[in-house]
Structure 1
Amino acid sequence: MSAQHQRPNILWITSEDNSPFLGCYGDAFATTPTLDKLASEGFRYTNAYANCPVCAPARNTIITGVYAASNGNEQMRSTYPKSKLVIPYSELLRKAGYYCTNNVKTDYNFAGDYKAMWDECSPTAHWKNSPEGKPFFAIFNLLTTHESQIFPYISDAELRHKPEDVVLPPYHPDTKEMRHDWAQYYDKIEDMDAQVGSLLKELEESGLAENTIVFYYADHGGVLARSKRYLFETGTWVPFIVRIPEQYKKYFPAEKPGDTVDRNVSFVDLAPTLLSLIGEEKPDYMQGNAFLGNAVEPEPRYVHLTRGRMDERIDMSRAVLDKKYRYIRNYMPFRIYMQHLAYLFNARSAQSWENYYQAGRCNELQSIAFQPKPVEELYDTENDPNELYNLADDPEYKDVLERMRKENIRWMKHIRDVALIPETEYAKRAGDGSMYDYMRSEACPFDDLLAAAELATEPGKGAIYDYIELLKNKDSAIRFWGVTGLLIHIDNAEQALPALKAAADEDATATAVLIGEALCRLGEKELAETIFLRILKDEHRTMMERTWVLNSVDAIDFRTLELEKWINDFYNGKKSELKGFDVYSNYDFSMCKTILEKWDVI
């Protein structure tokens, strides 16, 4: 048998939107016999993470081996170009002689022909279609546990997991809807487990199990509110199990099947690991570390996580974690954690939480979700697994805070973090090219951007006069960080009012919007309204530019007759055009709906 034929087949089974709610991870409420058995036959990873806590950017990282924040593909539901230098792993595997199938989800968050990346990409794609003698790589994406599966109501009587038996996390209020959705979700986990069982049985019956390495993992955490989309453990920690046949025991990551592996693993490591398993070299552009195969690399000390725009809600956070602490830096702390996101709030549990908070029925811990974020967060995840008690201001943890803060800056510089530039400027700067390439070009003032972002988000009273100077910079993104610093430190920013007024004719949308928001917070409401309406009424502005304005209008609850008229007219003009998922992917429409509902207009 040739060396090529000795290479393993590889089967990936992914589930959607679920944290490690499995019996093998110690969850007594879960009913997961298949995955528990798989863990006993394979290796269960205890420190595996999605680098982004939501589908598309998480999958962008997986398919490229490059952080979505480095690719310029971090913003949820976008199709910005991918660099031609960055090649999806499926194409590399095919070039190496593998038959590659995907059944069926793509969702890679960049522009391109996804199907062309695979030998077969369809609801019928299957390893059994592989030519005889050719090794296969096959993915099956199970949608059963997706967030949307808790939207349709299932009666309590039909639930197998009973709401009264749910052990609620302390950050969730004890509402009927919360208990119900948790129970319904555990039913979906059980259904997903059965689907995994069917696939593994089919593999066994095909006679290929002894030649096939099986991976099971979830595409990020989830799914009830404060998990998916958030950089906490609940949104990023994933179940991850690998079963390796005896003939490939040289690849065992621990002594024997059934053992756990505590190595730090994240999705950016998957593409390099695939190449290592099939004996191919990792391209220089890949940013992860192979953790299995012929070319295992050293374990990273840290895992890096990112959060950008989530559908219609604009935000930016970065996180660094080791095996004891999680550090989060919030670059837009003037936005609350639980912004009202249209898709998320289809869940009755999320609605009930918001209603409880507005009625004053949430306790202090449950109320945090609806309050502005601190600039920095630090959690001892060993002793505070729910990440409820922020240690960033505790002098006892000063050394840890500084260490993690420095690591975040080092990493952002290393990957050339695209989020230092507002999304509304991508096309202007990159043209038809990718932001990955732009950030590495001489045109990008990267070091100045990073310094401005760090200065803007420094804790304490801020550097107001430095922010005023940033507002005068020739680069609009650096001006963006100047006004961001003023907004974060708005209580000390009164002396910046003349500079903000002088900047009111700013043309770069994101910068102009935040100038308007800062002016409004400092009492200059008429000037703020002028800025917002100038952008909203400009027919040459994009959906994303309008969405930026509407995020600010909502955040400061800025209601004027003319703004309300524009929002109402826009909403009614689009309402009849949109159907199905279009309602959620037209972000300016979603924002108009949210604002009008809050104002009791609709």
Structure 2
Amino acid sequence: MARFHPRLLSIASLLLGLLLSASSASSQNRINVLLVTSDDLGLQLGCYGDPVAVTPHLDALAADSTRFNVAYVAQASCSPSRSAMFTGLYPHTNGQYALTNSGYSLHRQFRDATLPNRLAQEGYRTGIIGKLHVAPESSFHWSFRGKANTRDVASVANTAAEFIGASSQPFFLMINYSDPHWERNQGKGPWFFQDQVEGQPVTVLTGKDVRPFPFQGYRAPQHLDRIAGYYNAVHRLDAGIGMLMAKLKSSGHSEDTLVLFLGDHGPPFARGKTTCYEAGLRVPFFVRWPGVSKPIVSDAMVSSVDIVPTVLDAVGAPLPTPMHGHSLRKPVAGDTSDWRPYLAAEFHSHGLTPFFPRRAIRDDRYKLIHNLLPGNPLQIRMDGDPGMDEPRDPKYIESEFERAYQNWAAPPQWELFDLESDPWELHNVAGEPSMAAVRTRLTAALAEWESETADPLRDPRFVEEMAARAKAGPASKK
């Protein structure tokens, strides 16, 4: 029978205790993650220079974070956009081509590797407040699902505090605010923006307090009323962010929590959401990474596909493959060397129809859009929203926007814009001889991105198949 010296047993016990204590401390000291999204929020914030928005809390968060000037979502539609946040993959790879109610969902091979599932495997508590909107929902493993009304921003903050304080185990919490998405309302129509919810915002704007969006140039009185409603929702969101960050601070986790904030795409107005224009793709994006990020404004071009690799880098977890995004560790620290020279995005469809496939790529000045079905009439009423059809009364349209609306409604095969002189993409210069070299360069960059990401829509037969599926209805989709 083996015999052990009492002193050796004592030393072994001490070492085991130290190892277990270190393991527990390591688990408890791992960085927490708070991912916050806003539904239909473009650059309508004070920190991005919007002349109407009064957003002191979001501006304060931005000032304490790395704020990205040029941040794209993968696709300017709710479900596809969120699918990229969960997978680090563009929708043409992950399978969530359109809204969940159109029958599309994540491909089976990517369902176990979504961000919350990976973090659960790493020992994190995973929570969500607000809509998920990526299919199938059953493939996501949450340890907590908050039931707060996400327009009642005080309730959201309280629910978040409940989850954060429930355990010392590290957490991942995703909060998806509904604002400034419109809300169905029997009295004012299906596309009504709620001016006030539970007293927020305190001050309510009307159409007389706002101006046309710079990407629209449309002055119809009823349209200005809708814009005012949108800003009221933005202001309510801002109040909620203030409450949420106060709860995080009072929990003691402000300095050990990676905070990411972004919109899921641009505002639900013509030439915004559901397009590949800047007003649809470009969103506010802040990253506050304790001990890593600097409170700077960065011109590095970033994407929502960068969220997964950033979070997994922060928690020390390996990346799944394939992966389209890159960790933001270097850009948030102020190092943009060897960063991407081009930024790409896409669109397929929003609801069931119409199928309207596009690809877009930009550098620091020029932007190219490839419409795969050129001239395809835009018959979309996004989410049933007549606001997409509103800019049709010529007496309210500023003259320089007339051609832009024609291209939006039935676009040519190629659109090229000089974003330096034409930031809202009003003048298509794709056919100008002086732009031939730029167009050739961006076309090559787009083809390279499509090849690297194995874009199935490179094959015209696949485009035809998807168009046929859209026409046939959701039962034909997989």
Kindly indicate whether residue 433 of structure 2 is the aligned counterpart of residue 407 of structure 1: no
Q: Which residue of 2 aligns with 1:232?
A: 277
Over the matched positions of the two proteins, sequence identity in percent amounts to 26
Deviations 1:289-342 (A, max 9, x none): 111289999421111110102212111100001121111000111213x42426
Q: Which residue of 2 aligns with 1:432?
A: none
Residue of structure 2 aligned with 1:142, choices 142, 167, 177: 177
Q: Which residue of 1 aligns with 2:402?
A: 366
Kindly indicate whether residue 128 of structure 2 is the aligned counterpart of residue 102 of structure 1: yes
Q: Structure 2 vs 1, CA of residues 201 and 170 (structure 1 numbering), >3 Å: closer, same or farther?
A: closer
Q: Structure 2 vs 1, CA of residues 187 and 91 (structure 1 numbering), >3 Å: closer, same or farther?
A: same
Deviations 1:434-476 (A, max 9, x none): xxxxxxxxxxxxxxx2xxx4xxxxxxxxxxxxxxxxxxxxxxx
1:185-224 matches, within 5 Å, as 185-224=230-269
Q: Which residue of 2 aligns with 1:495?
A: none
Contact persistence 2:84–2:90 (CA under 8 A) = yes
Give 1:170 deviation, angstroms. 6.0
If asked which structure has higher relative contact order (CA below 8 Å, sep 6+), I would say 2
Query: Normalising by structure 1, what TM-score?
Result: 0.65
1:197-596 matches, within 5 Å, as 197-244=242-289, 248-249=290-291, 251-252=292-293, 254=294, 257=295, 259-292=296-329, 298-311=338-351, 312-336=353-377, 338-341=378-381, 343-347=383-387, 350-354=388-392, 356=393, 363=399, 365-370=401-406, 371-420=409-458, 449=459, 453=460, 477=461, 510=467, 544-546=470-472
Contact persistence 2:161–2:251 (CA under 8 A) = no
Query: Normalising by structure 2, what TM-score?
Result: 0.80
> Secondary structure of the residue that 1:264 maps to in structure 2?
strand
> Secondary structure of the residue that 1:90 maps to in structure 2?
helix
Runs of 5+ unmatched residues, structure 2: 1-21, 149-158, 185-189, 196-201
Aligned pair count reads 422
Q: Structure 2 vs 1, CA of residues 283 and 162 (structure 1 numbering), >3 Å: closer, same or farther?
A: same
Q: Structure 2 vs 1, CA of residues 373 and 24 (structure 1 numbering), >3 Å: closer, same or farther?
A: same
What is the one-letter code of the residue matched to 2:170? P
Partner Cα distance (2:467, 2:358) in 1: 17
Give 1:352 deviation, angstroms. 3.4
Deviations 1:364-404 (A, max 9, x none): 62354244211111111121111111111111121111111
Contact persistence 1:177–1:352 (CA under 8 A) = no
Q: Structure 2 vs 1, CA of residues 372 and 284 (structure 1 numbering), >3 Å: closer, same or farther?
A: same
Partner Cα distance (1:95, 1:126) in 2: 22
Residue of structure 1 aligned with 2:204, choices 142, 160, 165: 160
Compare the two structures and name the one with the higher helix fraction: 1
Partner Cα distance (1:159, 1:133) in 2: 39
Contact persistence 2:270–2:389 (CA under 8 A) = no
Partner Cα distance (1:204, 1:159) in 2: 26
Contact persistence 1:14–1:140 (CA under 8 A) = yes
Partner Cα distance (1:206, 1:291) in 2: 26
Compare the two structures and name the one with the higher strand fraction: 2
Contact persistence 1:172–1:178 (CA under 8 A) = no
What is the one-letter code of the residue matched to 1:79? Y
Q: Which residue of 1 aligns with 2:147?
A: 123
Q: Which residue of 1 aligns with 2:198?
A: none
Contact persistence 2:34–2:260 (CA under 8 A) = yes
> Secondary structure of the residue that 2:430 maps to in structure 1?
coil
Residue of structure 2 aligned with 1:113, choices 138, 146, 150: 138
What is the one-letter code of the residue matched to 1:284? T
> Secondary structure of the residue that 2:120 maps to in structure 1?
helix
Contact persistence 2:71–2:282 (CA under 8 A) = yes
Mean CA deviation greater in 286-295 or 268-277:
286-295
